[in-house]
Amino acid sequence: MTAPEIEGFSHSTLHTSHPAPEAKPKFTGPFLVVGLGNPGMDYVWTPHNAGFMAIDRIAQQQGVVVQNRRCKALTATTRIGGREVILAKPETFMNLSGASVAALLKEFEIGPEDRSNNLVVLYDELDLALGTIKIKERGTPAGHNGARSIAGALGSHEWLRLRIGVGPDLPPEAIAAGAKRRGGKDFLLEPMRKADLAALDEVLDRVATAVRRIVEEGPAAAMNEFNRKPDGKD
């Protein structure tokens, strides 16, 4: 015997409905990933070229080679999450990075209102310990000449950046006592030690994953995942 139907209700209306899963944000148009560094063999393995190394790691994973010249940069085109992604390494030297970035944005018709969802810049950060990364939607250059050049060329600090730590991991008490991280400009332009290159090599895979997350799901999702320290704290 089947259960009697209640007038005005069908069996389907008696079932508890579940909310639909939250849809992922949808982004359109090409996405520009720019890594900063200096061209030339003298700078290949220096801390200041961490951005170049990150672009090469992404290209390697995507099966492309960054070798096409356009907008004063070496570039490659690939697809991530169904989106066209342009990988770029400016050849203008670090201090003039903004000229290439501005030209690339114009070439791919990425306006100021689209930068937050269509541009990320990867570069080294001496004030972050080697082995760490930090994603920020805006901020001052904090002494980084490449970031300063981009801010000047775009007339804005409102652009997404992923900073790659290259500084030694000093304990908080040493920093509080006035100790400074190694070296500044001289350190950034010297070849890295084998141990430091090994540590950076592991970080580059994390950077590549973070960039994919930014492209596919947006900056907020990537920051929530990758800006946390190993102990789970922000």
Query: Cβ-count burial of 198 within 10 angstroms (0-12 exposed, 13-18 middle, 19+ buried)?
Result: exposed
In this prediction, residue 15 has a pLDDT band, given cuts at 50, 70 and 90, of very low
Q: Active-site residue numbers?
A: 48
- AA letter at 150: I
Report the CATH superfamily, name and number, of domain 26-226: Peptidyl-tRNA hydrolase (3.40.50.1470)
Q: pLDDT digits over 179-208, tens only?
A: 555 556 778 999 999 999 999 999 999 999
Closest CA to 168 of 216, 129, 112: 129
Contact between 54 and 164 under an 8 Å Cβ cutoff? The reply is yes
Residue 233 pLDDT > 50? no
Taken in order 90, 92, 93, 98, is the CA torsion positive or negative?
negative
* Structural tokens at position 69: 């010249």
> Alpha helix locations (H) across 48-171?
50-62, 97-107, 115-118, 145-154
Q: What is the DSSP letter of 21?
A: P
What's the confidence (pLDDT) of residue 137? 92
Residue 16 pLDDT > 90? no
What's the confidence (pLDDT) of residue 234? 47
Q: pLDDT digits over 116-138, tens only?
A: 899 999 999 998 999 999 999 98
CB atoms within 10 A of CB 11: 10
- Residue indicated by tokens 């990988």: 87
Rg of the chain over all Cα atoms, to the nearest angstrom: 22
Instruction: State the Cα–Cα distance between residues 164 and 126, nearest whole angstrom.
Output: 8
In the chain, what percentage of residues exceed pLDDT 90? 70
